[in-house]
Amino acid sequence: MQHDAGMVLLRKPSGVTSFAALGRLKRALGIRRIGHTGTLDRFASGLLIALVGRLTRIGWLITDLPKRYHATVHLGEQTATLDPEGPVELRRPLPSAQALEDALPGFVGRIRQVPPAYSAVHVGGERASRLARRGSPVQPAAREVYVESLRITAMELPRMTIEVVCGKGTYVRSLARDLAAAAGSCGHVAALQRLSIGAFTVGDAAPIDTAGPGDVIPPAAFLHRIDGLEVRRVTPAGERRVRHGQPVEPQFLMGEPSGDRPCALLGGNELLAIVEPAAGGAPRPYRYRCVLADSSGRAAEPAA
């Protein structure tokens, strides 16, 4: 099987950066262009999704999927990094179990959240973590995030475990900090595992030390598992039109999309393009979001 374009589900262990995990995969596949769809902190473990070759261009489809985490929170102590790698900077009495349960509803739905000082968000054009490590004052701006569900699965103070399902941009470290504060205490994430991204689970992932060509999933085998994305095959005439960037019309598709969601167009097992419904009144039924194949019939390489 060719492995120049596809998806790889990786199981990242704690203590390894996401960058290092992708570096191992690059060497195993002998390919340079590999991108992630959401990093994990070094202390965290779990599912890391990599896209290979030209499929790095569709990372947004994965990034937008909900993510499920399992976190162990240490209460009564807050570290500078909100994880086990930073020094303790604040201590408070332990909260009661009831106070924690009562605080949960306030962190479900659309909430305002301040990212950790040690994070990849940008402050003044520079990553907050770099400023923080230099000792510069860092105060990331609050932003809206979405938490689909939050529940306590075990509690033996000073530790509790929580399970979180959340949207992109949500920091579990900030969630643990704010939940502890709402219960009258403080806390940090002592351990974190990402269990799933959309329909893709850590149980299906390959260890980073053994992942190789046999773990590359071709587009035709995973696109249908992306919630909110339709998949349609194109006719031979439709494939030629897509390769030349010509208008995509229903008669060139094997089954008409609903018209209200992005749609992946397949020629055989090759992902040719992602199209979206055109704006109301537009003369073309669908507009291109990205094209992954060129007019020669070879897969188009994304811009460097």
Instruction: Write down the domain spans for the chain.
Output: 5-65+199-220, 67-197, 228-291
Q: Is residue 41 annotated as a catalytic residue, yes or no? A: yes
Topology given in CATH for the domain delimited by 5-65+199-220: Pseudouridine synthase (3.30.2350)
Count of CB atoms within 10 A of residue 190's CB? Answer: 19
Count of CB atoms within 10 A of residue 222's CB? Answer: 18
If you ran DSSP here, which 8-state letter would residue 255 be given? S
- Has residue 79 got a pLDDT over 50? yes
d(CA 16, CA 18): 7
Identical topology for domains 67-197 and 228-291? no
CATH architecture of 228-291: Roll (2.30)
Best mean pLDDT range from 55-64, 126-135, 175-184: 175-184
Please tell me which residue in 4, 41, 204, 294 is annotated as part of the active site: 41
- Has residue 104 got a pLDDT over 70? yes
If you ran DSSP here, which 8-state letter would residue 109 be given? E
**CA-based nearest residue to 69, from 182, 196, 158:** 196
Helix, strand or coil for residue 267?
A: strand
- Has residue 193 got a pLDDT over 60? yes
SS3 string of 61-88?
HHHCCCEEEEEEEEECEEECCCCCCCCE
The answer to whether residues 88 and 48 touch, using CB atoms and an 8 Å cutoff, is: no
Share of the chain above pLDDT 70, in %: 85
d(CA 268, CA 275): 17
**In the prediction, which pLDDT does 286 show?**
76
**CA-based nearest residue to 26, from 50, 60, 2:** 50
**In the prediction, which pLDDT does 133 show?**
65
Topology given in CATH for the domain delimited by 67-197: Pseudouridine synthase (3.30.2350)
Reported in sequence order, the residue ranges of 80-203 that DSSP labels E, i.e. its strands, are 88-91, 109-113, 122-123, 126-127, 143-156, 159-166, 187-197, 200-201
* pLDDT interval class at 243 (50, 70, 90): confident
